[in-house]
Amino acid sequence: MRRHTLIVLLGGIAALMVAMGIGRFAFTPILPMMMEHHLFSAAGAGYLASSNYLGYLIGAFVLTLVQVKSRSILLFAGLIVSIATTWGMGEFHSLEAWLVLRFLSGLASAVVFVITSSMVMDRLSALQAGILYGGVGAGILLTGLSVPLLARNGDWIEVWKGLGLISMILGLGAWYSLRERHSGTKTASSPLNHQSSAVRRILICLTIAYGLEGLGYIVTGTYLVAYAKTVSSIPNITSLSWILVGIAGAPSCVVWSMLASRWGKKWTLTVSMFLQSIGIAIPVLIPSSTAVFAGAFLFGATFMGITMLFVAFAKDLYPQNNRKTIGLLTTFFGFGQIIGPLIAGHLISGNGSYLTALIGAAFIVFLGALSLPLGIGSADRKQLKLAE
């Protein structure tokens, strides 16, 4: 790997660690601490999660409509907002303020994810792209390790502020690595409708499946560690389960990239989503520490690989318009993410059990897995050639 490519890759990894691994997913391991202090209920946690995903949805949708004059400046703005909102979660102490902060954090994470993908993907091979998206898993692993170290007698305030400082260091590194090499670069703005109807049909199937993935996976992404405490007395099980998610997630994208080169993206996505649905269901069907760890591993091993494969599939369909295509997919994904925590939060608060919420989420992801081979059919390889 050339030095220039390595610097860009490391910058992209750091950017995804800041906006996604920390800015977006740190809420999950900190959630049990905040709930123990009776700061909000499970329904309140659902509102906070959905506020974050609403911001993510709006950020992704806007990026499909606007013409970006400087991706570098937009990336910088996204990183700054992500860092500030992570710190701010420990600075403010009301549900209203947290709703605003989580919304802005979601907006920033969408901007950083889409812009970083657009900036870096063009320069990477499929295997290197897998390493890039491993940055999300690395960020999750970092939060899993940092949260128990930063927590002092369950002090959630210090955890948020500590993660804010870590984000600032990583964000500076990301900006230094990416800014000069991409400053002033304009993205392609050719319309999506210059491709065949067959290719557009594949894109429609991808958006439906990705929306179902967003709806199902986010329930586990929000409530996994909170549920873990209800079935195990192991000390720090919340952090341990989240660390396992990160350990499984960091190398997973490389593995899924290698499998996709053999099986094709359609079948690789189908298998990965099927495994994820199993991982969501296992902890509630077999309530035990072992099942929680198995579910955490399967969740970590699949969720970022699935995102990477959807993005890569869409990029194959529309190679000259990847920012808008990635934004379109992310928009549908965001719709699912908003609905999931709201429904799950009310189900959990209503009956005091995670069973219905998690089994429902597993079923939704399973439907998404089935929709790919059924919707796209067997001629996707031939149809993809039309997009080249």
Q: In which residue are the tokens 């499929």 written? A: 126
Q: Above 50 in pLDDT, residue 97?
A: yes
Number of domains forming the structure of the chain: 1
Q: What is the value of pTM for the model shown? A: 0.81
| Range in 196-200, 253-257, 261-265, 379-383 with the lowest mean pLDDT | 379-383
Q: Is 214 helix (H, G, I), strand (E, B) or coil?
A: helix
Share of the chain above pLDDT 70, in %: 90
Q: How far apart are the first and last CA of the chain?
A: 26
Sign of CA dihedral 225, 230, 232, 234: positive
pLDDT 10s digits, 114-150: 888 878 876 777 677 788 888 998 998 999 889 888 9
User: Rounded to whole angstroms, how far apart are CA atoms 326 and 115?
Assistant: 9
> What CATH number is associated with residue 256?
1.20.1250.20
User: Rounded to whole angstroms, how far apart are CA atoms 307 and 24?
Assistant: 15
Q: Which domain holds residue 113?
A: 3-385
User: Rounded to whole angstroms, how far apart are CA atoms 104 and 111?
Assistant: 11
Q: Is 378 helix (H, G, I), strand (E, B) or coil?
A: coil
Which position has the higher pLDDT, 306 or 340?
306
Q: How much is the pLDDT for 321?
A: 63
Q: How much is the pLDDT for 195?
A: 54
Q: Above 60 in pLDDT, residue 183?
A: no
The per-residue DSSP string of 161-206 comes to HHHHHHHHHHHHHHHHHHHHHHTTPPPP---GGGS-HHHHHHHHHH
Q: How much is the pLDDT for 338?
A: 84
| Mean predicted confidence (pLDDT) in 322-337 | 81
Q: How much is the pLDDT for 6?
A: 86
- Token pair recorded at residue 297: 């591993």
Q: How much is the pLDDT for 212?
A: 94
